[in-house]
Amino acid sequence: MPIVTVNLVEGRSPEQIENMIAEVSDALVRSLDAPIETVRIMVNEMAPYGFGIAGRPARLVMAERQAAAARPDSTEEGRA
- Residue 2 annotated to the active site: yes
6: DSSP letter? E
Shortest CA distance to 1 belongs to which of 34, 43, 42? 34
CA dist 23 and 37 (Å) reads 14
Annotated catalytic residue, options 2, 14, 35, 72: 2
For the annotated catalytic residues, the residue numbers are 2
